[in-house]
Structure 1
Amino acid sequence: MKAMIFSAGKGERMRPLTLHTPKPLLVAGGKPLIVWHLERLAAAGIDEVVINTAWLGDQFAPALGDGARWGLRLHFIDEGAVPLETGGGILNALPILGDAPFLVINGDVWTDMEVARLPRTPAGDAHLVLVDNPAQHPRGDFILHDDGHVSDDGDSARLTYAGIGVYRPAILDGWRAVIGDTTGAGATPPQFSLVPLLRHAMAQGRVTGQHHRGRWTDVGTPERLAQLDAQLQSPHG
């Protein structure tokens, strides 16, 4: 199985820390956020990882090398000055990701979840990791039903998408019809979010999920990065 780590964002909410360092390379617990991911991916038996870059993207290869230190093969994809967003980023990386299901993880989250607990082959088009709603996102994103399916409709309590999921390339089938004439969709390469495609797949019952009740942090501000660093540096980890 291959994986992709989203690393192209500008990290505007993390400034001034991200004026000179891309967010996934910011350090928590003595190592860059992205290194935590690489270690967990390697431990789960994943051997190839795509890292898409844009803002300060030239820093990733010198910092991470070719991935050999973790037993990985890293592929860096420079998206240029304007990031392609999540959907466009995956579409642009498909020639490397291939035809089999692949794992996607946001480069700016931290979690203790074991990647090996994720299915290698989702039942539908996607399998998402959901977490309890953090203070900064109290309304959540999606509903996880008792049968394991995930939906966007209904009055049930919602959970927050953790930025971790297993996807089939088929999630992008017919993407133009789903996305419509949105800004960036007509660019070369296209720029668009994965969220409308996820909602489209949910409406067809083709998205499953699991609830991770362990530790998870969306490292979206300098304050949350400092809190995470303090937690990881403490004697209890």
Structure 2
Amino acid sequence: MQAMIFAAGLGTRLQPLTSDKPKALVEIHGKSLLERCLLNLKKQGINDVVVNVHHFSEQIIHFLEANNNFGMHIQVSDETAELLDTGGGILKAKSLFKPNEPILILNVDILTNLSFDALLDFHQKEKALASLVVRQRKTSRYLLFGKNHQLTGWENQQTGDRKIARIAQIEESTPYAFSGIQLIQPELLDLIEEQGKFSIIDLYLRLAKSQTISAFVDNQSIWMDLGKYEQLEEAESLVKKMELLSD
């Protein structure tokens, strides 16, 4: 496996911590989110990583250089000129990926001890073009999956907005919350028709009409999306718990 870390976000919900630094360099229990993400990948045997940058991009580049890329092979996809969202970010980084290895994609602000090997095993058994890690948790926006764990749609339960990929299966679908972790085949990159700034979820919804976009339902691992400043204390406790479990 190879990996891509989405580290280009503005981190506005983590203000004031991100007023002078990128979200990726916000520290939790003495280590930045980016360092924690990279070390988790390295511990699980993944050493080829692409990191996209935009907000305070020079700080992330300097951080990686100062730490000798943590002994990993890290390439930077520079979105300084324009923030491209998740789909556009992957498309821009296309030339940096190996053509014959699945690509693990994760947000830099995700704290988890999920087994990436378990995700890969599921992905290969399903023969999926993309496997999306999802959970049963409360949120406003859900991905919808049929009985065969195939992506059928998306809905915002607050606004009532809905996007349908497979109309024949939509009524029997189960809503799951996306965890910000996904595994894709490199062949998916050649199926991208969108240009510029676009969401990877919209790409999945388009491809799901004819391709296998599967749900990897994860309710066992520790997981947290550090989205708000008010969650820092919770994140500290979670990281300490994961460190104790890994000893």
Partner Cα separation in structure 2 for residue 12 and residue 140 of structure 1: 20
Counterpart-to-counterpart distance in 2, 1:47 and 1:216: 22
User: Superposed, which structure 2 residues align to 1:10-159 within 5 Å?
Assistant: 10-65=10-65, 70-100=70-100, 101-119=102-120, 122=124, 123-134=127-138, 137=139, 139-152=140-153, 154-155=170-171, 156-159=173-176
1:233 CA drift (Å)? 4.1
Aligned to 1:211: 217
Aligned partners of 1:10, 1:56: CA distance in 2, in Å? Answer: 9
Any unmatched runs of 5+ in structure 1? 180-184
Q: Aligned partner of 2:55: which letter?
A: W
Q: Distance in 1 between matches of 2:50 and 2:207?
A: 24
Q: Does 1:222 align with 2:239?
A: no
Amino acid at match of 2:56: L
TM-score of the aligned structures, taking structure 2 as reference length? 0.80
Amino acid in structure 2 at the alignment position of 1:97: F
**Superposition deviation, residue 90 in structure 1:** 0.7
Query: Where does residue 199 of structure 1 map in the other structure?
Result: 205
How many residue pairs are counted as aligned between the two chains? 223
1: CA distance, partners of 2:200 / 2:237: 33
Secondary structure at 1:118's aligned position in 2? helix
The amino acid that maps onto 1:143 is L
Post-superposition offset of 1:6: 0.4
CA distance in 1, matches of 2:103, 2:27: 26
User: Are the equivalent residues in 1 in contact too, given 2:4–2:51 (CA < 8 A)?
Assistant: yes
| Per-residue deviation, 1:206 | 1.1
More displaced stretch, 206-215 vs 1-10: 206-215
5+ residue gaps, structure 2, are: 154-163, 165-169
Separation (CA, whole Å) in 2 of partners of 1:221 and 1:86: 20
Q: Which residue of 1 aligns with 2:158?
A: none
Whichever structure has more helix as a proportion of its residues is: 2
Determine if contact 1:149/1:205 at 8 Å carries over to the other structure.
no
Contact 1:66 1:72 in 2 (8 A): no
Instruction: Give the direction of change, closer, same or farther, for the CA distance of 1:90–1:197 in structure 2 (3 Å limit).
Output: same
Percent identity reads: 28
Amino acid at match of 1:113: L
Q: CA deviation at 1:203?
A: 2.3
Query: How far apart are the structure 2 equivalents of 1:66 and 1:91?
Result: 28
Asked whether the equivalents of residues 67 and 74 of structure 1 are also in contact (C-alpha less than 8 Å), the reply is no
Q: What secondary structure sits across from 1:158 in the alignment?
A: strand
Read off the aligned partner of 1:207 and give its amino acid letter. I
Quick one: structure 1 residues 146 and 36, their matched pair in 2 at CA, closer, same or farther if it must change by over 3 Å?
Answer: farther
Further displaced range: 219-228 or 152-161: 152-161
SS of corresponding position for 2:179: strand
Distance 2:2 2:51 in 1: 11
Corresponding letter in the other structure for 1:31: K
Structure 2: how far apart are the matches of 1:113 and 1:157? 22
Equivalent position SS for 2:93? helix
User: C-alpha distance in 2, partners of 1:111/1:191?
Assistant: 28
Does the CA contact (< 8 Å) of 1:49 and 1:74 recur in 2? yes
CA distance in 2, matches of 1:105, 1:7: 9
Q: Do the aligned partners of 1:128 and 1:207 also contact (CA within 8 Å) in 2?
A: yes
Are 2:129 and 2:211, in contact at CA under 8 Å, matched by a contact in 1?
Answer: no
Using the TM superposition, give the Cα deviation of residue 69 of structure 1 relative to its aligned residue in structure 2, in angstroms.
6.5
